[in-house]
């Protein structure tokens, strides 16, 4: 194995571990019942709502579920773009919102979504949204005012051609590192690479 390859592997490993270290992650849970419903008429958007929610830390450690009282999760996808193989597809756009933090706990925008009609599953991803710092504090994580990326996955309890009930689901958010943190990470990797290059050249 060449010195250059060893150096590349070391820097890559450091980058992976450093990135993992800043990836704080939380998960909102909702458990169906009368408070969970969705609407889809076969065209237009797919929308849903659920209340109340619990939230818990997922990463760096798993934490207990914490009740969020009167919190409400609502979402509306972008426009319906067609159904392929039993899966309805939706374009980017729309919103996903969690309220109940004395304002908005989270607000994001979808990059796309799909509704598996046969298996009654909804799954989606969205671009970085804003998380109220109080949410991170609630689960015991540092209250840095940062954005987050995330996903929604929901098991749907019924479908009558217009919508139905939500059986269960999750909204998972991963903190987006702030520009300052990324700059420090980049500087650290450059310094580490320089040190390793000197050592390997000896």
**pLDDT at 180 (0 to 100):** 40
The reply to whether the predicted model has a pTM over 0.95 is no
Q: Domain coordinates of the chain in residue numbers?
A: 1-22+177-202, 24-176
Distance CA 53, CA 106 (A): 13
Give 190 or 108, the one with higher predicted confidence.
Answer: 108
Number of H helices, E strands in the chain: 3, 13
Mean pLDDT of 86-112: 94
Q: What is the pLDDT of residues 11-57, one digit of tens each?
A: 334 343 344 445 899 999 988 777 899 999 999 999 999 998 999 99
Q: Which residues of 104-131 are buried (b: 16+ CB within 10 A; e: fewer)?
A: ebbbbebebbbbebeebebebbbebbeb
């Amino acid at each position: 194995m060449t010195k250059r390859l060893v150096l590349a592997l070391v820097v890559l490993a450091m980058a992976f571990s450093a990135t993992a270290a800043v990836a704080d992650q939380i998960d909102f849970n909702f458990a169906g019942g009368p408070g969970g419903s969705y609407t889809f008429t076969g065209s237009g958007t797919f929308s849903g709502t659920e209340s109340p929610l619990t939230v818990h830390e997922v990463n760096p450690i798993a934490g207990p579920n914490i009740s969020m009282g009167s919190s409400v999760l609502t979402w509306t996808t972008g426009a319906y773009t067609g159904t392929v193989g039993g899966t309805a597809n939706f374009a980017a756009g729309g919103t996903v919102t969690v309220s109940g933090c004395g304002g908005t706990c989270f607000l994001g925008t979808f990059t796309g979504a799909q509704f598996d009609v046969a298996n009654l599953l909804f799954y989606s991803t969205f671009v970085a949204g804003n998380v109220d710092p109080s949410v991170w504090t609630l689960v015991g994580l540092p209250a840095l005012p940062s954005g987050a990326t995330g996903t929604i996955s929901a098991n749907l309890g019924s479908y009558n051609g217009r919508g139905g009930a939500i059986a269960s689901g999750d909204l998972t958010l991963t903190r987006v590192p702030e520009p300052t943190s990324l700059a420090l990470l980049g500087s650290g990797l450059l310094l580490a690479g320089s040190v390793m290059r000197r050592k390997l050249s000896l």
